[in-house]
Amino acid sequence: MLRFTPVSFVSTLSAGVLHSDRTSSFRVGDMLHPQGNSPRSSRSVAIVGAGIVGMSAAHFLSRAGWQVTVYDAGVVASGATGSADGAVSVASKKPGPLMTLAVAAVKFYEQLIAEGVLVDEYLPRSTFVVASDDEELSVLERHAGELEAASVPIRMLRGTALTEVIGAAAPTAIAAAEVQREGHAVGYRVVERLRRLGGFAIRRNCRVSGFTSSNGHITGVITECGTEQADAVLLATGIGSMHFLAESDLIRPRKGQLIVTDRAGADSPHFPGPLMSCRYLVSKGSQPANSAAASRSLGLVIDPLRTGQFLIGGSREDRDDRETADGDIVAALLRDAVALSPSLARLRVIRVFSGLRAATRDGMPIVGRVGGADNLWIATGFEGDGICLGPLMGRLCQQMICGEPPDQDISALDATRFRLTLAAAA
Amino acid sequence: MSEVPSFLFDGKAIPHTGNETIAAALDRAGIHTLGTGQAGCAGRYFCGIGACQACLVIVDGTRMEACLTPARSGLTVKRFVPVSS
Amino acid sequence: MSGPQALVIGGGPAGVSAAVALARAGIDVTLCEQGPRLGGAIHRQPDDQTQSVRVPRAHKQRWQALSDELAASTVKVLCRHMFAGIEATGAVLLEDRNTGRLVTRRPAALVLAMGAIERVAPVPGWHLPGVVSAGGLQVMMKSTGRAPSGAVLIAGSGPLLVALAAQMASLGNAPVAVLERSPRLMSLRVIASLLRTPAYLREAAGYVGTLVRAGCLPQRGAFVTAIVPKDGRLSVSVRDRGGRERQLLVDRVALHDGLLPNSNGTAAHPNGPFLVRAGDCREVLGGAAALADGRLAAQAVLAHLGKRGSDSTGAELAMARERQAQAALNTLFDYSGRDPTELPDDTIICRCEGRTLGQLRAMLDSRDPVSAREIKLNGRFGMGACQGRFCAEWVAAFVASQHADGSPPQSSEIVGSRWPVKPVPISAFVTLPPSHPSE
Ligand SMILES: Cc1cc2nc3c(=O)[nH]c(=O)nc-3n(C[C@H](O)[C@H](O)[C@H](O)COP(=O)(O)OP(=O)(O)OC[C@H]3O[C@@H](n4cnc5c(N)ncnc54)[C@H](O)[C@@H]3O)c2cc1C
Ligand SMILES: Cc1cc2nc3c(=O)[nH]c(=O)nc-3n(C[C@H](O)[C@H](O)[C@H](O)COP(=O)(O)OP(=O)(O)OC[C@H]3O[C@@H](n4cnc5c(N)ncnc54)[C@H](O)[C@@H]3O)c2cc1C
Ligand code: FES
Any long-range contacts for A409-412 (C-beta under 8 Å, 24+ apart)?
Answer: A409/A97, A410/A101, A410/A367, A410/A368, A412/A96, A412/A97, A412/A364
Q: B-chain residues within 8 Å CB-CB of C425?
A: 62-64
- Residue type at position A179: V
B82 → closest Cβ in A263, A346, A348: A263
Asked if the C-beta of B39 comes within 8 angstroms of chain A's C-beta atoms, the answer is: yes
Among candidates A289, A291, A293, which has minimal Cα distance to A281? A289
Of C242, C257, C272, which residue is a domain's last?
A: C257
Among the listed residues C53, C77, C259, the one whose alpha carbon sits nearest the alpha carbon of residue C171: C53
Ligand 3 atom with minimal separation from the B44 CA: 1
- What is the rounded CA–CA span in Å between residue A286 and residue C433? 30
> In this structure, is residue C192 part of a structural domain?
yes
Residue type, A207: R
Among A184, A263, A350, the strongest candidate for a mutation testing the B interface, having the largest count of B CBs within 10 A, is A263
Among C241, C257, C273, give the residue marking a domain's end.
Answer: C257
Residue C399 lies in a domain: yes
A20 or A400, which is more confident?
A: A400
Q: What digits encode the pLDDT tens for the residues B45-55?
A: 999 999 999 99
Between residues C113 and A419, which one has the greater pLDDT?
A: C113
Cα A196 versus chain centre, distance: 19
pLDDT tens digits for range A394-423: 999 999 999 999 999 999 999 889 888 888
**Weakest-pLDDT range from A183-187, A312-316, C65-69:** A312-316
The CATH number given to whatever domain includes residue A385 is: 3.50.50.60
Bridge partners, C86 (sequence order): C92
Check whether residue A174 and residue A302 sit in a common domain.
yes
pLDDT at A268: 83
Domain CATH for C25: 3.50.50.60
* Assigned domain for A385 exists: yes
Judge whether residue A21 has pLDDT over 70.
no
The CB-side HSE value for A199 (13 A sphere, CA atoms) comes to 24
Looking at the domain assignment, is residue C331 inside a domain? Answer: no
Round to whole Å and give the CA distance between A54 and A68.
11
B66 CA distance to ligand 3 middle (Å): 7
CA distance A344 to chain B (A): 11
Please report the residues numbered 223 through 242 in chain C whose beta carbons come closer than 8 angstroms to any beta carbon of chain A: none
Instruction: Indicate the DSSP class of residue A372.
Output: T
**Residue C144 and residue C160 in one domain:** yes
Q: Is the peptide bond before C15 cis (omega within 30 degrees of 0)?
A: no
Q: CA–CA separation, A195 vs A58, rounded Å?
A: 9
Q: How far apart are CA A425 and CA A246, in angstroms?
A: 9
Query: For the residues C247-262, what does the mean pLDDT come to?
Result: 97
Q: Is the peptide bond before C420 cis (omega within 30 degrees of 0)?
A: yes
Run of H or E including A189: helix A187-197
Do C296 and C371 lie in one domain? The reply is no
pLDDT given for residue C436 in this prediction? 55
Is A391 part of any domain? yes
- Number of independent structural domains in chain A: 2
Q: Is the pLDDT of residue A26 over 60?
A: no
Beta bridge partners of residue A124, listed in sequence order: A183
Same domain, A132 and A259: yes
On whether both A232 and A261 belong to a single domain, the answer is: no
Q: The domain spanning residue A322 has which CATH number? A: 3.30.9.10
Q: Ligand 3 centroid vs C204 CA: distance in angstroms?
A: 28
- Measured distance CA(B12)–CA(B76) in Å, rounded: 10
Considering chain A, what is the average pLDDT of its residues? Answer: 86
Contacts of B67 in chain C (CB under 8 A): 136, 139
Pair C240, C283 in one domain: no
Single-letter code of the amino acid located at B83: V
- Whether A348 and A229 map to the same domain: the answer is no
Q: How confident is the model at residue A94, as a pLDDT?
A: 81
Confidence of residue A15 (pLDDT cuts 50, 70, 90): very low
User: What residues in A contact C435, CB-CB < 8 Å?
Assistant: 327-328
Give the closest ligand to the alpha carbon of residue A224. 1
Residues C69 and C47 both lie in one domain: yes
Residues A137 and A277 in one domain: yes
Q: A351 and A290, same structural domain? A: yes
Helix axes C198-214, C159-170, angle to 10 degrees: 50
- Per the structure, how many domains does chain C have? 3
Sheet holding A366-369, edge to edge: A201-203, A67-71, A44-48, A232-235, A376-380, A366-369
The CATH architecture one would assign to domain B6-79 is Roll (3.10)
pLDDT at C225 > cutoff 60 = yes
Residue A360 reports pLDDT greater than 80: yes
Lining residues, ligand 1, CB within 6 Å: A 48-54, 71-74, 78-81, 83-87, 187, 207-208, 236-240, 243, 256, 258, 313-314, 355-357, 380, 382-388, 390
> Which pLDDT score, from 0 to 100, does residue C176 have?
97
Whether the per-residue pLDDT at A33 is higher than 50: the answer is no
- Residue-level pLDDT at A44: 97
User: Which of B79-83, C220-224, C289-293 has the least mean pLDDT?
Assistant: B79-83
- Report whether pLDDT(C333) > 90: yes
Residues A145 and A159 in one domain: yes
List of chain C residues whose C-beta atoms are within 8 Å of the C-beta of residue A349: 420, 423-426, 429
My answer on whether A280 and A348 are in the same domain is yes
Q: Assess whether C184 and C71 both reside in one domain.
A: no
Give A83-122 pLDDT, tens digit per residue: 999 999 998 888 889 999 999 999 999 999 999 999 899 9
> Is the CB of A347 inside 8 Å of chain B's CB atoms?
yes
Q: Do A348 and A270 reside in the same domain of the chain? A: yes
Q: What is the mean pLDDT of residues A280-291?
A: 64
Per-domain residue ranges for chain B? Answer: 6-79
Calculate what percentage of chain A has a pLDDT beyond 70. 86
Give the pLDDT mean for C329-340. Answer: 91
Question: Residue A153 domain-assigned?
Answer: yes
Both A245 and A374 in a single domain?
A: yes
For residues C12 and C40, the answer to whether their CB atoms sit within 8 Å is yes
pLDDT in tens, B56-78: 999 999 999 999 999 999 999 99
* Residue B18, beta-bridge partner list: none
Task: Return the top range by mean pLDDT from A315-324, B30-39, C68-77.
Answer: C68-77
Q: How far apart are the first and last CA of chain B?
A: 47
- Tell whether C33 and C87 lie within a shared domain: yes
Instruction: Evaluate: CB of C35 within 6 angstroms of ligand 2.
Output: yes
Residue range of the domain that includes C407: 340-415
- Sign of the Cα torsion A324, A326, A329, A335 reads positive
Same structural domain, A129 and A259: yes
Question: Is C430 inside any structural domain?
Answer: no
Which domain covers residue A379, as residue numbers?
A: 6-10+22-27+38-82+188-249+363-418
| C176 and C201 belong to one structural domain | yes
Same domain, yes or no: A204 and A299: no
Q: For C431-434, which contacts have Cβ atoms below 8 Å and span 24 or more sequence positions?
A: C431/C100, C431/C101, C431/C102, C432/A327, C432/A328, C432/A331, C432/C93, C432/C101, C432/C102, C432/C103, C432/C104, C434/A328, C434/A331, C434/A332
- For residue A207, being part of any structural domain is answered with yes
Q: Give the pLDDT mean for C268-290.
A: 96
A71, pLDDT greater than 60: yes
Residue A423, domain member (yes or no)? no
Domain limit, last residue, from C232, C257, C282: C257
